Chains A and B, each alone.
Chain A
Amino acid sequence: MKYILKVFSATFMSLILSFSIANASSGVFKVSHDLGFGKDTNLDAITKGRLFQVVIKTQNRLVRPDMNGVPSPSLSTDWSANSDATEWTFNLRKGIYFHDGSAFDAPDVKYSLMRAKDPDIGSPVRKSLNVVEDIEVVNQHTVKMKLSTSFADFPLLLTDYRLRMIPEGSGDTIGQTGVGTGPFMVDKFDPEGTTILKANPEYWEGAPGVAEVHVIAIPDAQARIQALLTGQIDMNRYVPFNQKKIFDSNSKFKTTVIPTGNWRGMVMRTDTAPFDNPKVRKAVRLAVDRQELVDLVMGGAATVSCDTPVMPSDQYRLNMDCPQNISKAKNLLREAGYPNGVELTVYPATLEPTWPTIAEVVQQQVAKAGIKVNIEMVPSKGYWNEVWMKKPVSMTRWNQRPADTILHEAYHSGAKWNESYFKNSDFDKNLADARSELDFNKRKKAYQNAQMTLWEQSGTMIPYHVSRLVVTSSKVKNLDAVDHFSIQWHKVKVD
C-alpha cells in the first residue's frame, strides 16, 4: 500500500511539474521601435514621447477594445451610465497588483485619468478627456466619472491606447519605470538600445507565454526589414506591401494583412502662407489622385479616404468620393491669387517607409495643377520633435482611434496635436454637439458634418487608411490578427 501511495504521489507530482513547465513563460519575443522621439522617448503613456511598444505590454486600461473594436472589460469589469449619460460608474477588477507590489484600486484610476487632464503635463490626450469633470472614488473598487456633457460613447473614449492605469503618485517616475498591471514588467529601459521586459507571473489573465520581450531601437525602416530577415527581431508591423514577396515564399515567416484605421498623410500648416488660405489647401488636396496612391504605395491594400481620419469601419465615418480634379484645383488656386501655382517643400523621413514614396507620387500628381513640390529628406531620429508641427508641410502618420477621439485630437482648435493648426468654430461646435447628443442618428450627423468641414477646409491630406502587413517569424504563435492596441500580449508564444 505504501508502495502504491509512493508511486501515486510521484506520478501526481510529475504531472503537476510538467503542467507547470508547460505553462511557464519561456522564450524571448523580439520587436523593434523607430526611436522617432529621440531623447524624449519615455514610458509615460500620456506624454508625447511615449514608447508605446513598451507601455501597451506593461500597463492596462480600464476598458479595452475587443477584436472588433467594441469596448470590453479590462481593469474595469463592468460599467453603467445614468439616464442622460453624464455620469458613468465603473466597477473595478479585484485582487490586481501593480508590478511594484501595490494593490490596484479606485484612487489609482482617479490619479491616472486626472493626471492625463493636467495642463502642466500637457498630454495630447487631454483635449478628448476634458469631458471628464470629476472622478469620484465611491469605494475601493468603484469609481464614478462625472462628465461636463452627455456622452453616450464615453467607454469608447476610455479604450484610447494611452489611458493606462499607473500607481497613485508615480507620475514623477513612471517615464522611466513603466510600472503597471500588465503582462510584462520593465527590467531595463534603454530607449536607444534594447529595452528588456520580463514576464509578470502574477498577471491577472494568466502568466505570459514568453519569458522576455526585447524592444530594440532600429530607426531605419529597411534596417528593420533586414533585422526581421536575419532573426534579430521576430515581428515587423510596418512592412511595405511592395516587399511582401520577400516573405510570402519564405517558410520562416508568416504574413498577415490587417485592415486598420491607421492613416498616413501630408500636413499643411493652416497658420502659414500660402496654406492659411483654405482654397490653396483644398487645391492641393483636390490635385491628389488617392486611388493611384493606394495602388502605387500600398499595392492596393488600403481604403481611400477623402481627408477624413475616421476609420472605414467606424459607424460615424463620412463616406464620399473624391477623385482627382485638376481643373478645379487650378481654379481654386487662381481664386486664391496664385494663377501660376504654388511651391511647397515637404520633409519626409524613412521613419515611416511609405513617406518618401507618398511624397514622390504626390509630387508628380499635383504638378499637373501647377503645384511644385520639393522633397527634402530629413533624419528619422527626432522627426516628431524637429519636423512635425514645425515645418510648413510635413508628413504624418496616426494609429487608429475612435471617431470622437481622433477628430478632437488632431483637429480641435485647442488640441495639443492639432498638427495643421486647424481652427474652425463650426467644426468644434459639431464635435461638442455630437458628444452631447443621445440620439444616435443625430450624433452621427454631427460627426459627419465635422468631417465635411474637414473636406472643405482642412490642411491635412489623408489619402487612405492602410491595411497593415504584419510579418512575424514562424516561431511566433498566438499573435492576435488585430490592430496593435487590441492585441492581448500575454497570449503570444515563441517556439
Chain B
Amino acid sequence: MQSDLATNNKQKNNFEKVLEILKTMALKPSGFIGLSILIFHILLALMSPYIAPYDYKAISPNTMLLAPSAEHWFGTDSLGRDVFTRTILGGRTALTVTFFGSLIALLWGGLLGIFCGLVGGKIDDVVMRVVDAFLSIPWILAMLLIVSLLGTSTQVLIPALGFFYGKGIVRVARAATHDVIAKDFIVSARARGHSNMSIIWNEIIPNVRDAILVEGAMRWSWMLLGFSSLSFLGFGVSPPTPDWGLMISNARGLMSFAYWSVIAPIVGLSSLIIGINLTADAFAKALGIDRSTKAPV
C-alpha cells in the first residue's frame, strides 16, 4: 500500500514536472511558436488521411500543373495530382521515420555514452575511437550505400538513421556523465558496492537525462532534414507515397513556371524543422541548460 502511494506520488510529481516544463516553454514567445508549430504538424499528420480532399495517387493528364484555385487550393503537380492533398499527407512518413529514428539514436547513443563515461579506461578509448571513425564518414554517403544495398523501406531507414544520428549523442552523453561521476553520490554508490548497471540506472541517468533529451530533440530536426534530403535524392520514400523531399525533387525543375508545386512542400518541411528547433531550444532553457555554452562535445 505504501509502495503504491509512493509510486502514485512519483508519477504525480513527474506529471507535474512535465507540465511545469511545458508551461515554462510556452511562456517564452519562441517556445510558444515552436510548440504550436510542432503540435500543428503532429495533429495534421494524425488527421490528414481523414481530411485530404483527393486521392493522393490519382493521376490525370486533364489536371496537369493547374494553378491554385478553389478546386485545388495548392494547384496540381506534373502528373495532375492535388498538391494540397499530397502536402498535408507529406509529413506523415517523415515524422514517423524520424521520431522512431531519434528514439533509437537516443537509446543507443545515450546508453553507450553513459557506459563509456562511467567505465573509462581502454574500453572507453576503443569505443570512442570507433565512434570518431564513424563520425568522420559523411552520413549521406553511408546512408546511400545502405539504401543501395538494403532498399528504402522504413524497416531499413529507421535503424540506419537511428544509428548515424546516434553517434553524436554518444559524445554528449559521455561528456555529461564525466560531469557527474566525480560527484560524491557516485563515489558513495561505488563504496556501497553497487554494480555499474545500478549506478547508471539510479544515479547517472536521472542526472544526465535532460542534456541527452535536449540533444535528442535537436537530432530529431537534423534527422528530418537528412531524411528529406534522402527523399530529395530519390532514396527515401518510394513513389507514390507523398513526401515533402520527394515532392520538392519532382517539382524543382518546374519552379520557374509552376511554383505552387514546390512552395507547399518547402513550407511544410521548413516550418516543421523550425518548430522542432524552437521547441528543443525552449526545452533546454526550461531545464536550465544553456546550449550556447554547453555545446556538444
Residues of A at the B interface (CB closer than 8 Å) are 222, 225, 240, 242-243, 245-246, 292, 295-296, 349-350, 353, 356-357, 359-361, 363-364, 374-379
Which of these binds chain A: B40-48, B98-106, B253-261?
Answer: B253-261
Task: Given A242-B65, A245-B257, A296-B64, decide whether A376 and B238 contact each other with a Cβ distance below 8 A.
Answer: yes
**30 pairs of residues in contact across A and B, judged by CB atoms under 8 Å:** A222-B253, A225-B253, A242-B64, A242-B254, A243-B253, A243-B254, A246-B257, A292-B61, A295-B61, A296-B79, A350-B234, A353-B253, A356-B239, A356-B250, A359-B239, A360-B59, A360-B239, A360-B240, A363-B240, A364-B57, A364-B59, A364-B240, A374-B238, A375-B238, A376-B152, A376-B238, A377-B152, A377-B233, A379-B144, A379-B148
Among B57, B233, B257, max chain A CB count under 10 A is at B257
B163 at the interface (CB under 8 A from A): no
Nearest 6 interchain pairs by C-beta: A377-B234, A295-B61, A360-B239, A245-B257, A375-B239, A375-B238
Contact A377 B257 (CB under 8 A): no
Chain A residues contacting B254 (CB-CB under 8 Å) are 242-243
Minimal beta-carbon separation of B165 from chain A (angstroms): 22
B251-294 vs A, CB cutoff 8 Å, 1 = contact: the mask equals 01110110000000000000000000000000000000000000
Task: Given A242-B254, A243-B254, A356-B234, decide whether A363 and B239 contact each other with a Cβ distance below 8 A.
Answer: yes
Residues of B at the A interface (CB closer than 8 Å) are 57-59, 61, 64-65, 78-80, 144, 148, 151-152, 233-235, 238-240, 250, 252-254, 256-257
- Within 8 Å by CB of A378, from B58, B148, B250, lies B148
Q: How far, in whole Å, are A309 and B238 apart by their CA atoms in the complex?
A: 29
Closest to B151 in A: A376
Minimal beta-carbon separation of A384 from chain B (angstroms): 16
* Inter-chain pairs besides A242-B64, A242-B65, A360-B239, 6 sampled, C-beta below 8 Å: A246-B257, A296-B64, A353-B253, A356-B239, A364-B58, A376-B238
Chain B residues contacting A243 (CB-CB under 8 Å) are 253-254
- Within 8 Å by CB of A357, from B78, B234, B235, lies B78
Q: How far, in whole Å, are A379 and B78 apart by their CA atoms in the complex?
A: 23
Minimal beta-carbon separation of A385 from chain B (angstroms): 13
Minimal beta-carbon separation of B110 from chain A (angstroms): 33
Q: How far, in whole Å, are A245 and B253 apart by their CA atoms in the complex?
A: 11
Among B57, B79, B234, B252, max chain A CB count under 10 A is at B234
Among A295, A357, A360, A378, max chain B CB count under 10 A is at A360
Minimal beta-carbon separation of B156 from chain A (angstroms): 11
Chain A residues contacting B235 (CB-CB under 8 Å) are 377
Minimal beta-carbon separation of A348 from chain B (angstroms): 8
Closest to B236 in A: A377
Minimal beta-carbon separation of B260 from chain A (angstroms): 14
Minimal beta-carbon separation of A91 from chain B (angstroms): 49
Q: How far, in whole Å, are A378 and B233 apart by their CA atoms in the complex?
A: 10
Minimal beta-carbon separation of B131 from chain A (angstroms): 28
Chain B residues contacting A378 (CB-CB under 8 Å) are 148
Contact B152 A296 (CB under 8 A): no
